[in-house]
Structure 1
Amino acid sequence: MSGKKHAKDKTRAEDEAWKSAGPTPNETLPVQTFNEYQCTGNAETDFPALCALLNVKDIPAVIAKFPASSASQTEGSDTDNQLQTSDASFCSKPCLKLELESKDRARSMKVSGWRVNEQIFRALQKMLPSMNQLLSLGFWQAGLTDRMVVALMNTIPLCSSLRVVALEGNVLPQQGYHLLLSEDSVLTHLSLRNNRIGVEGARLIGSALSTARSANKNLLSLNLAFNCIGDAGAAHIAQGLRLNRTLLFLSLCNNQIGDAGAAHLAAVLGEFALTHDEIVERRKLLLERAQAALVKDEPLQTLAGSTTSLGGNKGETRGTPKKKEATRKDEKVAANKDNQKPNKKTTDTRAPQPRGGKAGGKEKQHPEEDRSNTSLNEAELVDSVNPLLDPSVHPRDGQLFMPGNTTLTSLNLAGNRITEKSLPLFLVSLEMQGEGGGLLRLCLQRNIFPPGNEFYVKIKELMAPLDPIEKNNSEEEGLGE
């Protein structure tokens, strides 16, 4: 008996020693908490594990598939019908839908038609930064809240590849959609369809697109279709387009926009007068640019002054401050050129900035520019970034005018309440844009005017050679003949 007791004591001592020593190098302790979990980047593994750690009941399945091959997509309408049918069954139960880039890496993730609670959203939020090949994220009728959108806004910068977000059918009481297109947002494509966005939401989105002091510089396309923006909201969106020089595609179809809202949108496409706030900001920018150029020149002038002092030539020493004073006067003239009449020849030599953001012509404006190529390049960079410093800004009739938004290439206003009253306004703005860029596609179908209206016919004739879709259709018809 004593031998058996000794053996049990020995076994117990060995167990205690193993516990105190911890796991061997080839063993790991099981994760005990949500915060301890290290995501692998594989959603099929991470999502159920994270949900389990949060004690989620009925964890949604993760269903992954590779995108349809290009060969299957060219087989015809039957393939499209099959895809639609599979998608319908795919979303019949709550699931996380993944489109794979490789065996265990997703390039697209979508939640469709089921409510995401706080726990599930926490799991998604923790998982997203590890999915380094994820390009697109979509929530369709997922019941997201304002708090979740704020969390999503904070998570997106941590995702190395995520640039496309679709937030559709999610009504937010506080209308916080604008948080996704803030000045420092990295998103390039954003869809906010069917969210009941009203006037206040449109105001916030317009301010996010641009103000006199800030502008979104990454977003290329914005889909606001099937909302409740109306005339007042359209005016706010138009305000945001004044100084935004990044957005290429904008859809405002089916938004109850009438002639009042259409007038604001048409006006921003053509030449328009600067507001008081914009003029103040422009003068501030001009002053900052002049001061920056002066700072660049000061070391050279100081060095010249110290050399003449060593030589003992009093005349040269006294001449240096006069030279600085002359330089300041020249730059003051440049900063206050708002109040002078424009020189047409000078304006013609520097055309408005093209869509690509390249600087305009390099005609010499001031003698100081010869002294520092660096100052010139920095000034041109500022010009290309901020449209308030566009060299084509000019005074007329007591106001300052600047070219309209020629960066936007596609504007969809189909399915609204626009009448024939607004058509001449769009025609004038389109003709004003000329060959310096501007709209390539303007959709005005399903509005309240006859298709045979003379102004609508002229608009279609003007846009037909520019519209890439129309051009492709005409080319295909020509090949068919």
Structure 2
Amino acid sequence: MSRKRQKGKPEKANAEDETSKNTVPTPDEKLSAQTFDEYQCSGNVEVDFPLLCALLDMKDIPTVSTKQPASLTTETEGGDTEDSPSHINAAPSWPKPCLQVELENEDPLSAKNLKLSGWKVDERIARVLQKMLLSLSQLQSLYFWQAGLTDQMLISLMNPISLCSNLRAVTLEGNHLPERSYQLLLSEDSVLAHLSLRNNQMGAEGARVIGSALSTTRSANRNLLSLNLAFNAIGDAGATHIAQGLRLNRALLFLSLSNNQIGDSGAAHLSAILCEFALTHEEVVERRKMLLSASADQLRSVASSSSLSSIKEENKAKKQITSKKDNKPANKDNLKSNKKSSDIKVPLSQCKCGKQGGKEKQLSAQEDKSSNALNEHGESVEIVNPLLDQSVQHRDGELILPGNTTLSSLNLAGNRITEKSLPLFLTSLEMQDEGGGLLRLCLERNRFPPECECYVKIKELMTLADPLKKPSSEQTEEEEQGA
């Protein structure tokens, strides 16, 4: 019996060793067994964020606050405080860090909105966000308010931002970026529909970058629907740059330039693009290049179509001949007929392009229709290149282009515009037709009396144009917030 017991002890010890080997490691043991780059994000922010921070040896890890669907609030919650002029210009306080997450539904993997508000983001947090964003497949909105972002941090976030398939809104406010890297958010291939860049101290040079991103003679942003540039001190020079970017942009619907120290000079440039204007020499040259390119592409398409048609006819004729040889002797008349059919070529005058005499108009029309984009709902939206607009008119040796009638809301409240600029805006509004144009023009809190006759006429026109027809008290309250 004693021998059996002695033999049993090693067996028990071996069993315990085997059990210890098969034991599942604890989260801490699992965490220590991998590096930051090896970690695979699950899409659950409450789990991924603290673990990624721990892998970077962070001691004070920001908390994660998750809002369930029942308690979800709108993006403007607390906006009365953050949107007020006194608060938007206040120095960042950077309280205890907290990453706010809003869910689409009860699933913890359904993060819809991500918000970092009022606390400083360092390079390690930016690195964690860069890795984590790629796993948030349902993310729609990303919000940074006074987060102390640097140009390098934003540049590092651009790749995951561009890869978030559902991300359409980015708010970047109260972050001074000397290298003006926010222009990357307006690139030609950006899919963002809503962008807020308030209070980023961009100045006139920053506005120049933004204007170029909106459009040049060779490129244009085709997806951005709303842009908020309030509280950026862009001045008259900056307003001129923005107006230049609006000349050939036909996507932007809402633009806020409130509280930007814009005077009559900048206002004149903004009002000028709302009605017809003459193309510059550079725009005329680019228009000719585009027409020539479209004509060459169309001719190549016609030639290719004719060649393909000829080949199809020839193959069809050969099949008919082969079939007749197999079934019965070939008839000479049939062979001649088949031979003729194989030599058929489509005359240029009978192609879809129509007669050669009207070629330029038809080519430019086809080029217009080839410019397509997707809206928020994934529906195809036709965006005509303004330089190829068929309504361009020749007048007094100049090419006159219809103004920007896509922009429907322009907020210029809280600037330095005087009574001198009001007739320019009134003329532009009166020239707009029913096909488009401004539905809302905010000029409150500028340097002219509210009872000014021209301003009263502008308000009357806007009341008739605005389909919502908000009460004046409600509208004024909204404009006071610099929205």
| Residue 244 of structure 1, CA deviation | 0.6
In 2 relative to 1, CA 396–34 (structure 1 residues): closer, same or farther, beyond 3 Å? same
For the Cα contact (< 8 Å) 2:250–2:383, is it kept in 1?
no
| Residue 57 of structure 1, CA deviation | 1.7
Distance in 2 between residues matched to 1:121 and 1:4, nearest whole Å: 61
So what's the TM-score if we normalise by structure 2? 0.76
Letter of the structure 2 residue corresponding to residue 408 of structure 1: L
Distance in 2 between residues matched to 1:232 and 1:4, nearest whole Å: 95
1:387-406 matches, cutoff 5 A: 387-406=386-405
For the Cα contact (< 8 Å) 1:56–1:120, is it kept in 2?
no
Distance in 2 between residues matched to 1:93 and 1:233, nearest whole Å: 36
So what's the TM-score if we normalise by structure 1? 0.76
Q: Does 1:413 align with 2:412?
A: yes
Q: Does 1:231 align with 2:236?
A: yes
Which residue, 170, 177, 198 being the options, matches 2:203?
198
Identity %: 61
| Residue 69 of structure 1, CA deviation | 5.9
Distance in 1 between residues matched to 2:22 and 2:189, nearest whole Å: 45
In 2 relative to 1, CA 452–54 (structure 1 residues): closer, same or farther, beyond 3 Å? same
Match of 1:38 in 2: 40
For the Cα contact (< 8 Å) 1:418–1:449, is it kept in 2?
yes
| Residue 385 of structure 1, CA deviation | 3.2
In 2 relative to 1, CA 4–216 (structure 1 residues): closer, same or farther, beyond 3 Å? farther
Distance in 1 between residues matched to 2:368 and 2:126, nearest whole Å: 46
Distance in 2 between residues matched to 1:185 and 1:386, nearest whole Å: 18
1:366-381 matches, cutoff 5 A: 380-381=369-370
In 2 relative to 1, CA 228–7 (structure 1 residues): closer, same or farther, beyond 3 Å? farther
Match of 2:426 in 1: 427
In 2 relative to 1, CA 25–292 (structure 1 residues): closer, same or farther, beyond 3 Å? farther
The number of aligned residues is 419
| Residue 93 of structure 1, CA deviation | 2.0
Match of 1:51 in 2: 53
Match of 1:174 in 2: 179
| Residue 283 of structure 1, CA deviation | 0.9
Distance in 2 between residues matched to 1:27 and 1:145, nearest whole Å: 37
Distance in 2 between residues matched to 1:153 and 1:300, nearest whole Å: 42
In 2 relative to 1, CA 242–127 (structure 1 residues): closer, same or farther, beyond 3 Å? same
Letter of the structure 2 residue corresponding to residue 64 of structure 1: T
Q: Deviations over 1:78-130 (max 9, x none)?
A: 9x99xxxxxxxxx9521101122223122111111111000011111111111
In 2 relative to 1, CA 298–238 (structure 1 residues): closer, same or farther, beyond 3 Å? same
Match of 2:97 in 1: 94
For the Cα contact (< 8 Å) 1:166–1:191, is it kept in 2?
yes
For the Cα contact (< 8 Å) 2:368–2:384, is it kept in 1?
no
| Residue 297 of structure 1, CA deviation | 2.1
Q: Does 1:284 align with 2:289?
A: yes
Match of 1:355 in 2: none
For the Cα contact (< 8 Å) 2:259–2:415, is it kept in 1?
yes
Match of 1:146 in 2: 151
Match of 1:358 in 2: none
| Residue 296 of structure 1, CA deviation | 2.4
The Cα RMSD (Å) is 4.0
| Residue 304 of structure 1, CA deviation | 7.0
In 2 relative to 1, CA 183–35 (structure 1 residues): closer, same or farther, beyond 3 Å? same
Match of 1:467 in 2: 466
In 2 relative to 1, CA 472–258 (structure 1 residues): closer, same or farther, beyond 3 Å? closer
In 2 relative to 1, CA 108–304 (structure 1 residues): closer, same or farther, beyond 3 Å? closer
In 2 relative to 1, CA 304–142 (structure 1 residues): closer, same or farther, beyond 3 Å? closer
In 2 relative to 1, CA 110–69 (structure 1 residues): closer, same or farther, beyond 3 Å? closer
Distance in 2 between residues matched to 1:299 and 1:379, nearest whole Å: 21
Distance in 2 between residues matched to 1:253 and 1:23, nearest whole Å: 65
Letter of the structure 2 residue corresponding to residue 248 of structure 1: L
1:272-311 matches, cutoff 5 A: 272-299=277-304
1:305-384 matches, cutoff 5 A: 330=356, 335=360, 380-382=369-371, 384=383
In 2 relative to 1, CA 93–403 (structure 1 residues): closer, same or farther, beyond 3 Å? same
Compare 4-13 and 214-223 and name the one that shifted more: 4-13
In 2 relative to 1, CA 25–51 (structure 1 residues): closer, same or farther, beyond 3 Å? closer
Q: Does 1:163 align with 2:161?
A: no
| Residue 207 of structure 1, CA deviation | 0.4
In 2 relative to 1, CA 280–123 (structure 1 residues): closer, same or farther, beyond 3 Å? same
| Residue 24 of structure 1, CA deviation | 8.9
1:230-249 matches, cutoff 5 A: 230-249=235-254
Letter of the structure 2 residue corresponding to residue 43 of structure 1: V
Where structure 2 has 5 or more consecutive residues not aligned to the other structure, the ranges are 82-93, 315-335, 338-342, 372-381, 475-483
| Residue 66 of structure 1, CA deviation | 2.9
Distance in 1 between residues matched to 2:123 and 2:8, nearest whole Å: 53
Distance in 2 between residues matched to 1:329 and 1:377, nearest whole Å: 15
